[in-house]
Amino acid sequence: MNTAIVGASGYGGEILVKILAAHPKANLVAVTSRSEAGKSVGSVMPELRSVLDSLKFENSDPHALAARTDIDCVFLAVPHGVAAEYAGVISKSGKKVIDCSADFRISDPAIYKEYYGQPHPDEVLLKDSQYVLPEITEDGWAEKKLFACPGCYPTSILIPLYPLLKKQVIGTKHIVANSFSGTSGAGKQSSQAFSYCEVNESAKAYGIPKHRHLSEIEEQLGLAGQGPVVLQFNPHLAPMNRGILTTITVPAGQSTIEDLYGAWKEAYGGRPFVYILSADTRPETKYTVGTNRVDMSATKDERTGNFVITSAEDNLMKGLAGQAVQIMNLWQGWDETTGLLNV
């Protein structure tokens, strides 16, 4: 299958390029970037000189991509608002679109406007799109025109919590999630706030109390069967390049740690990208960076009556590019690990 990437010079786009360049069943035939147009991929990403030096960045033109007959699937690695400009034009040409932005993650346009500060850019296409977190999304999604790839923070929270809500191991109240992200989660920026001296040797909370990803997290958790979920989400910027570590506390009620692990194993026992650690082990970001895996564990604090759940992932892999390729693999009927085990 022939693929293209819009916004291929950003952090997530670069990882997509590297994965698809080595993917045994996908050909990367087009990459676009407004800032790097005309340059070879090898000159912008020197590690790929011997692999993609003949492929050049093109201008980001949705109509040009839509008109091409040699492209089957387009990955959008551009900011929210911008992605919809490409998605509408490209999907009308019959190509599948996998969007890594937030434009199609929220099903309710009113919620999108509340959290993103602007009207939804394409409500018609929104109705024909599908949010896909492969480990929890119900079957039947592959017939849609557009697949919305989940956010990095939401993935680290939804995978641990969704089966617990579905099996009623936990309730919907008093859930608190504290997440720490590497600076690559903000994308390539030239602002002072993300300069080396500002982020090195420092950690800070931001986006409190209403980070944009909260809307996605609560909407998806609300689909688990217990009704609306209100969650306290506290994101932090950590002095590392890549990775997300999330710690969640939630009242255990009458449930035991065996109930929790039983729900996890039932949901994820056959899934290659969820690794369940023992209750006496804590996930670490250094062991998930470069993988498409979520590591997670939990313990029950008998003193407070809470479950304490921890997860770790690579924000640019399972939190973005790797998950997007996992979606492509499943859509095509390929093994979901194809091209993702040796990145």
Contact 324, 105 (CB under 8 A): no
Ramachandran class of 312: left when φ > 0, alpha when ψ lies in -120 to 50, beta otherwise: beta
What the block records as the tokens of 108 is 């309710």
Query: Of these residues, 100, 149, 152, 197, which one is catalytic?
Result: 152
What the block records as the tokens of 203 is 């950690």
In three-state secondary structure terms, 295 is strand
Opening angle at CA 3, ends 341 and 99, nearest 5 = 85
Q: List CB contacts of 5: < 8 A, sequence separation 6 or more.
A: 13, 16, 17, 20, 28, 30, 31, 32, 74, 75, 77
Rounded distance, CA 98 to CA 104, Å?
10
Element (H, E) at 163: helix 152-166
Using only C-alpha atoms, the chain has a radius of gyration, in whole angstroms, of 20
In three-state secondary structure terms, 142 is helix
What the block records as the tokens of 186 is 């903000």
Mark whether 197 is an active-site residue.
no
Tell me the HSE value of 209 on the side-chain side, using a 13 A CA sphere: 4
Q: Which residues are catalytic?
A: 152
